[in-house]
Amino acid sequence: MAGDGDWLAHFVPDLQHWTESKLCQQLVPRSNGLPVATELRGHHVGKGEFTMSINEQNLMKAATGYLAGKVVLITGANHGIGAATAKALATQNSSVFVTYHRDVCRYSEGELQEAKEAGTGGDVLYRAMQQQSTDSLVRYIHDQGGTAVAHEADLANADNIPLLFDLCEEKLGSVDILVNNHTCCVLETFDPALTSDEGSGIHLPTAATIDAHFATNARAYALMMSEYLKRHLQRECEWSRIINVSTDAAHAHLANISYAASKHAIESYSRSAAAEMGKYGITVNIVAPGTDTDRLHYT
């Protein structure tokens, strides 16, 4: 289980700028002060493509100071969008608690390291970034004067979810902002003609792989939000934010069918949560990056 947007396997300036602007759209309070539910869909993130609008620049300025002192829990943050999110919010003087999980990998340590050093390598580079710890991220934030704590946990295990919140509260305080970004992605297809053993392969779906996608992607997102709301109510908080990272291909994804279906479930959970939690001062938003990302350029 790694972060979503995993094809964004090495940090580029555009990614952090994009993350900062899109997050600020979700975190800065609206003029009427009312909770809202919105979606950011189809924003394509690629090298050299990002420009920040005047409105986005103003949002960035508005966020400065407003997010100071907030505690943010970010899942799937050992690279890609999750790590860029941690950096972006740390620059706003938020304290960040980042989580990640390194699953079993078919590549050797030598292959992974070679791909990282080369900066190319298709699937092997993708897996190499998934396998790294958050040590460099936490060190970077600390070097910039920020506050960050990391913990590795498999969110497919539901017992780990309240423990994460407990640990975050112990180290940094109660969670103000929850960013669910972790994901499971195993390429699957209904079509036997599309199966392949290249890289990590493309295989026919099995009960085990379907369950793995939904346990990590859909169920864990739902349980994270439920745990967050419970604690929000216990401390009688009036302001909280949830951002769930999906994909612009949630409606359907060729040769990635269970991933897409589980992301579609995330979006349904998010809309229901937005409708039900708004009265408690919680906004729930979906960020769905588009498909024009660095992963497409690894080959």
Residue among 185, 189, 187, 188 at smallest CA distance from 213: 185
In a domain, 10, yes or no: yes
In a domain, 210, yes or no: yes
The dihedral formed by the CA atoms of 138, 95, 267 and 60, expressed in degrees to the nearest 10: -100
In a domain, 172, yes or no: yes
In the chain, the percentage of residues whose pLDDT exceeds 70 is 74
In a domain, 35, yes or no: no
Report the relative pairing of strands 2-3 and 182-183 from DSSP bridges: antiparallel
Please say if the pLDDT value at position 122 is more than 80: no
- The angle formed by the CA atoms of residues 258, 260 and 265, to the nearest 5 degrees, is 95
In a domain, 41, yes or no: no
**Taking the CA atoms of the chain, what radius of gyration do you get in angstroms?**
18
pLDDT-derived band at 29, boundaries 50, 70, 90: low
Number of residues in the chain: 299
Query: What is residue 250's DSSP assignment?
Result: T
Strands (E), 102-218: 147-152, 177-180, 182-183
pTM: 0.79
Q: Cα(289)–Cα(84) distance, rounded to whole angstroms?
A: 14
In a domain, 26, yes or no: yes
**pLDDT at position 21, please?**
52
Q: How many domains does the chain have?
A: 1
* Domain of residue 25, residue span: 2-30+70-294
What CATH number did the domain enclosing 194 receive? 3.40.50.720
Could you read off the pLDDT of 186-227 as tens digits, one per residue?
899 999 999 999 877 899 999 999 999 999 999 999 999 999
Whether 155 contacts 219, CB under 8 Å: no
Please say if the pLDDT value at position 12 is more than 50: no
Could you read off the pLDDT of 49-91 as tens digits, one per residue?
334 455 555 555 555 667 899 999 999 998 888 999 999 999 9
